[in-house]
Amino acid sequence: MNFIEELRWRGMLQDIMPGTEEELNKGMASGYIGFDPTADSLHVGHLTQIMTLIHFQRAGHKPFALVGGATGMVGDPSGKSAERNLLSEDILKHNVACIENQLKKFLDFDCGANSAEMVNNFDWFKNFNFLDFIRDVGKHITVNYMMAKDSVKKRLEGETGMSFTEFSYQLVQGYDFYWLWKNKGCMVQMGGSDQWGNIVTGTELIRRKEGGSAFAITTQLIKKADGTKFGKTEGGAVWLDAKRTSPYKFYQFWLNTSDSDAKNWIRIFSLKSKEEIDAIEKEHDAAPHQRALQKALAQEITIRTHSEEALQKALNTSEFLFSTGPVDFLEQLTDEEILEVFEGVQHFTISKEQLSNGINVTDLLAEHTKVFPSKGEARKMIQGGGVSVNRQKVSDPAEMINADKLVKGKFTIVQKGKKNYFLLIAE
């Protein structure tokens, strides 16, 4: 497998430094990508770079994942309009540990010579004092060179300007590349296209400081067909941590992509071959309403990020909400997961004590909750067969609902008509 050709046909390749492809064709090479620990989880915006490292390893090369325990204290200005808040050392340590655990789900850390390796730039910066840094690193890169970078120009043209802290970021990242080149034999740094300036600063530092050669590759920044930012939803970022974004929501994010986005994204975020993807596209084009592309993408990336079990839970949740699936599977979920399933559904709190004695279903839905505005309307809908409790039709307006109807001893799902759900929570 040729790594560069793989990126090309998948539509991922943006920039490549002359000589890079030839260097990679010589045999196993080492390369790295940096991940910024500004949160305790990566999000889908990081998946392009994770996939780049996966392809790099599959092509027989050795991938390094750098977690920026030191650079996280500075803040990368690339693509930013304002300086971000700096995090404490304790928070950064926590974030770094969480990100390391996530990356181990995607890369093989035990496969011989090209096993993936995790590094943290705090390890080589913690004892590097300021005077040594400006003497050993700063003297090799001119201010004119740094000012010419687009990330710097854009910030200097803005209203807020740029602090020296952020201005120095490209030197710090450049030194990362130098350290990994010298100590780990890393010949290539990869990243998103907004990182080109920082990456080539590293290659320039290696050239000026040691007379060495190093190389750079960037991938295209992913955008949606409608121009909105990839990875953002109304609820915010789509995280890789199941506690931040449930596997169900994660699955739905991919399932709900447009046809045009799905055709691009299945190349980027799937490990399927070109032949496999072409076959899925033909199947999709023959029956677009079946959403073959979206389903294939959503299933593969949910399994890779979470697990097959998590995918099955997501599929069961989808079946429950969009068809007539039984409530039994809710027993397998935590209380938090059940609340996530019914996020956006109106919730009502009912008394567990009253429910233990039984409540007339009409009173329950019109007095104890506001599923219906009046008892008359509740009776009429019940008699017409338009009300279900835990997916069981209720036909008698006088039927008693008791604690036996609680799922996990806490929840009752009421359905009014086909699409109107209500969640009753007993406390």
Q: What residues are annotated to the active site?
A: 38, 43, 46, 80, 84, 173, 194, 229, 232-233
421 is in an annotated binding site: no
Output the CA angle 326-383-421, nearest 5 degrees.
40
DSSP 291: -
232 is in an annotated binding site: yes
Q: How far apart are CA 174 and CA 163, in angstroms?
A: 18
CA dihedral 294, 299, 302, 307 (to 10 degrees): 180
DSSP 232: E
Q: How far is CA 257 from CA 45, 252, 355, in A?
A: 15, 9, 42
Q: Is 93 exposed, middle or buried (0-12, 13-18, 19+ CB in 10 A)?
A: middle
Determine which helix (DSSP H) or strand (DSSP E) holds 100, and give its type and residue range. Answer: helix 89-103
| CA 167 from centre of chain | 28
- How many CA atoms lie less than 13 Å away from 272 in the CB half-sphere? 23
- How many CA atoms lie less than 13 Å away from 422 in the CB half-sphere? 19
Output the CA angle 146-150-155, nearest 5 degrees.
90
Q: How far apart are CA 196 and CA 330, in angstroms?
A: 47
248 is in an annotated binding site: no
173 is in an annotated binding site: yes
List binding-site positions for ATP.
232
- List the binding residues for L-tyrosine: 32, 169, 173
